[in-house]
């Protein structure tokens, strides 16, 4: 396996793309309210990316081998939808939880990040799923340093999510990212400490755990993209793009409005 190490120039460009992706989420956050459709959220984000940022929405017409082109500019995954939800005429209602996944291309480089949003007033169980998933992502990020392994990242995420009574989706994973949307390596969100590839400074990849309230099994809808939980339990996901530095990690998908790293004091 050849994991490409980014040059200082490439890292600088990835920082810009990462910040821009996060700023799309800052922009859309106040719009995520009962009554709006996922299609309207897509349109607002699309116009912001294209007209304000001058970025390219990477999902639009993205077609990996075996897939039909993705028809929209962002992914909107509501409640039991795990990932890759296609925006459309679904109206968000109070109590929904929704993941908005943004990938922009700026000057040829990708930034990829997603957050969970509470619509109106979700149940305590739904909120807890979102919070545990956020913390699981961060526990994975905090493993990142030269010499750590991919298994260390996966294990930290799996241990916390399963220890909280939830399950980890196995079929989708984080990924290297750069000039291409999905590069090597694959970042599994489960695993054993000390196993797998060793991290080196200059690697850039995403960490994006999908956590189900019920069983880990998933199913793809007839649209060829949307992934849902088989048991219809709620699912949550958070995503950051992360750089391996000489001393640890640097999160590239940061902006004014991005939720802060959880403090140790708030550990559940």
- Binding residues for ligand MF3, per CB under 6 A? 59, 62, 70, 75, 84, 101, 103, 112, 206, 208, 225, 239
> What is the contact mask toward Co ion in residues 232 to 251, using x (rule: CB under 5 A)?
-------x------------
Nearer to ligand MF3 by C-beta: 56 or 193?
Answer: 56
**SS3 category, 112:** strand
- The CB-of-178 to ligand MF3 minimum distance in angstroms stands at 13
Closest separation in Å from C-beta 63 to ligand MF3: 8
Rounded least distance, CB 35 to ligand MF3, Å: 25
- Taking CB positions, which residue lies at the least distance from ligand MF3? 59
- Contact by Cβ (8 Å): 86, 226: yes
- Cα gap 74→231, rounded to integer Å: 25
Span of 64-72, 116-124, 134-142, 198-206 interacting with Co ion by CB under 5 A? 198-206
Kind and range of the H or E run holding 183 = strand 183-187
Report the candidate in 47, 30, 42, 120 with the shortest Cα–Cα distance to residue 88: 42
183 binds, among Co ion, ligand MF3, none (CB under 5 to 8 A by kind): none
Convert residues 66-105 into a mask of x (bound to Co ion by CB under 5 A) and - (unbound).
-----------------------------------x----
**d(Cα 234, Cα 161) in Å, to the nearest integer?**
14
Q: Total binding residues for Co ion by CB under 5 A?
A: 4
Choice between 42 and 239, CB closer to Co ion:
239
d(CA 168, CA 156): 12
3 state SS of 120? coil
Q: Select from ligand MF3, Co ion, none the partner in contact with residue 70, using the beta carbon and a kind-dependent cut-off of 5 to 8 Å.
A: ligand MF3
The rounded distance, in Å, linking the Cα atoms of 202 and 158 is 25
Smallest distance from Co ion to CB 182, Å: 7
The partner in contact with residue 62, picked from ligand MF3, Co ion, none with C-beta cut-offs of 5 to 8 angstroms by kind, is ligand MF3
- Contact partners, residue 50, CB within 8 Å, separation at least 6: 56, 57
CB of 128 to ligand MF3, least distance (A): 23
112 binds Co ion (CB under 5 A): yes
Please write down the long-range contacts of 76-81, taking CB distance under 8 Å and 24 or more positions apart. 76/38, 76/41, 76/42, 76/100, 76/101, 77/101, 77/226, 77/227, 77/235, 77/237, 78/38, 79/234, 79/235, 80/228, 80/229, 80/232, 80/233, 80/234, 80/235, 81/226, 81/227, 81/228, 81/235
Measured at the CA of 153, the angle between CA 147 and CA 157, to 5 degrees, comes to 160
Cβ distance to Co ion smaller for residue 82 or 265? 82
CB of 88 to ligand MF3, least distance (A): 14
- Shortest distance (Å) from residue 173 CB to Co ion: 9
- Rule CB under 5 A: which residues touch Co ion? 101, 112, 206, 239
């Amino acid at each position: 396996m050849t994991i490409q190490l980014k040059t200082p120039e490439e890292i600088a460009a990835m920082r810009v793309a990462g910040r821009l992706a996060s700023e799309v989420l800052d922009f859309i956050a106040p719009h995520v309210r009962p009554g709006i459709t996922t299609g309207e959220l897509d349109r607002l984000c699309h116009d912001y990316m294209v007209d304000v940022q001058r970025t390219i929405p990477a999902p639009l017409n993205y077609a990996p081998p075996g897939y039909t082109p993705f028809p929209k500019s962002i992914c909107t995954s509501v409640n039991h939808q795990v990932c890759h939800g296609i925006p459309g005429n679904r109206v968000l209602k109070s109590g929904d939880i929704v993941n908005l996944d943004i990938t922009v291309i700026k000057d040829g480089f990708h930034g990829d990040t997603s957050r969970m949003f509470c619509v109106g007033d979700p149940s305590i169980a739904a909120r807890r799923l979102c919070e545990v998933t956020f913390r699981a992502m961060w526990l994975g990020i905090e493993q990142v340093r030269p010499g750590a392994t991919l298994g260390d990242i996966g294990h930290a995420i799996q241990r916390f999510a399963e220890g909280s009574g939830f399950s980890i989706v196995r079929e989708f994973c984080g990924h290297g990212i750069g000039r291409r949307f999905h590069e090597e390596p694959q970042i599994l969100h489960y695993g054993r400490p000390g196993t797998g590839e060793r991290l080196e400074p200059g690697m850039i990849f995403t960490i994006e755990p999908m956590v189900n309230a019920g069983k880990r099994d998933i199913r793809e809808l007839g649209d060829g993209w949307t992934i849902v939980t088989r048991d219809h339990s709620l699912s949550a996901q958070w995503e950051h793009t992360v750089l391996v530095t000489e001393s640890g990690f640097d999160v590239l998908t940061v902006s004014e409005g991005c939720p802060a790293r959880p403090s140790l004091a708030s550990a559940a």
